[in-house]
Structure 1
């Protein structure tokens, strides 16, 4: 197992010493940190989310994503190799862009959710979900037979940080990213920044060396008074309001992409990939049994992820995510319902039964191409 051997021999103590300046920067700003393996994730800064939500929407919010493993896929056959494994159109991906993707099994269900950045013609970086680096690397290694491709675990030297908000582009230009380019320099270091599809909001995914990360981050924060650190709780609140599903919360390995409103993760015109046949059959001739939908819940109604959803007194689904953002007295939520309920947009209720909620399609809901006909 070439990839796994490389991963296991990583010098953890050395890596942690390089991360210490980042730990200090976050804790000095009041971060509530969660340990994930040998890395950490900032949940929030202080006790109020509003000061973190504002820069995500209107300024420049910076999220440290060091917990996300990075894998380089490089070589003359790199694009062809990934194109035949992943659900999205790797061959059509432009340089300097992040692309959402799925690694599915032969029966079509989701194994891993990941993002792919194309740095050059045959050089890609895969960003995995937290603690999924070994699983994704092992899958890639398993399918790598004769292709001229090398896999490398980048997280020993590099980490990812994302910038959100209308002022994030300006902040990157100040740091040395030229117009229409994805690579810049900061001191003696090189870093990459590329747009990330994220609903209606601006988001940049940046890759930078661990050795210069704290200095780079401090420079971003000092570039504009509206630039600030944000935690996962604030980002999650905006994500739900945008109607974007999250692995672990809203979907998992028991789901098909068609169920989970992941239309931006899949191409139906690219040709063959693992899981393509069941996806094509469901897209053209069938439908999933379940559908992830959006809901609007009154602020006065108590609701949390996991709460059952009812129709005519019968349980037909459950909530998966509830946003902390209130707009016009309502909170956005995501939830699973039976396909028939979603298609007809039949009203549902929580257990209290106080308010009827109308499910609606999410931005990336996958629609069948042929309307279903009822047999007489």
Structure 2
């Protein structure tokens, strides 16, 4: 059975001859080094090196597609347009046209398991852009498609050999937290440094200049940050709550699911420390993994 979850998301499309050079100078990862088609996770930082946006950025022959969290596209589009001077690039918000879902496996008709990490194929009477992304601790696929094709796409997933079941976004979030995978929007990491919240996979230190790059270079030279992404365990841990150790602020939780929460936590917290999160006692479970 194919299990999928619709993703609350927004999207931008960049076209024009200078699109790749332009977006390369805005983002933290190296899109130029990706194959075509290809995809990289990346952040858009402010001049202090703090996260403003996180996106999965797809490079295709005719355009660049940015898959963002719900409601993020208008603000990122406004930011990008501020930096367009003589560049031949157009930024288009395509949220109303495109939708996305995550399949919790790679069991999708048309997906070539021996092919690349990004593929385009026909499904349900329309073209689908598929990207290999781990959102649950297991390999899965993000499918991006025209909203008008959604009914036929879902029908195409549900073949005799391959039935499907839809799980709510809350279930996907629970699996993400248990897998220790960071999410900027859901965890509330906006305004923080990428390295503090497990976003090393969204960084390239060899790609050249971008907004916030000077701060990232200093962090690389210093070799570490004071905080890291961690998992806390405890009964009914609250989300988005300050973490105290002996009355001292040492971090803050992101999303939580019952007995587990992701956290931005000081690295000098002892592994056996008992922490207080909104009146609930918690302990450090294990350092969490980086974002997918």
TM-score range, shorter chain: 0.7 to 0.9
CA distance 1:340–1:223, change in 2 (3 Å): farther
Deviations for 1:258-305, whole angstroms, at most 9, x for unmatched residues?
A: 2111111111121211101111112222643433312233xxx23221
Q: CA deviation at 1:124?
A: 1.1
Higher RCO (Cα < 8 Å, 6 or more apart): 2
Q: Distance between the aligned counterparts of 1:105 and 1:354, measured in 2?
A: 34
CA distance 1:223–1:236, change in 2 (3 Å): farther
Q: CA deviation at 1:139?
A: 1.2
Q: Would you say 1:157 and 2:97 are equivalent positions?
A: yes
Q: Distance between the aligned counterparts of 1:306 and 1:183, measured in 2?
A: 38
Q: Distance between the aligned counterparts of 1:187 and 1:197, measured in 2?
A: 24
Deviations for 1:244-271, whole angstroms, at most 9, x for unmatched residues?
A: 1222342333211121111111111212
In the alignment, what sits opposite 1:63? 5
Is the 2:196–2:226 contact (alpha carbons within 8 Å) kept by the matching residues of 1? yes
In the alignment, what sits opposite 1:84? 25
Deviations for 1:184-223, whole angstroms, at most 9, x for unmatched residues?
A: 2235422221212446411212121222111111221345
Q: Distance between the aligned counterparts of 1:332 and 1:224, measured in 2?
A: 36
Q: Which has the larger radius of gyration?
A: 1
Structure with greater proportional helix content: 1
The one of 160, 164, 167 equivalent to 1:230 is 167
Q: CA deviation at 1:307?
A: 4.6
Q: TM-score, normalised by structure 2?
A: 0.87
Structure 2 spans left out of the alignment, 5+ residues: none
Structure 1 spans left out of the alignment, 5+ residues: 1-58, 325-330, 366-376
> SS in structure 2 opposite 1:99?
strand
Q: CA deviation at 1:109?
A: 0.7
> SS in structure 2 opposite 1:340?
coil
Q: CA deviation at 1:348?
A: 2.8
Would you say how many aligned residue pairs link Structure 1 and Structure 2?
289
The one of 265, 286, 289 equivalent to 1:360 is 286
Structure with greater proportional strand content: 2
In the alignment, what sits opposite 1:130? 70
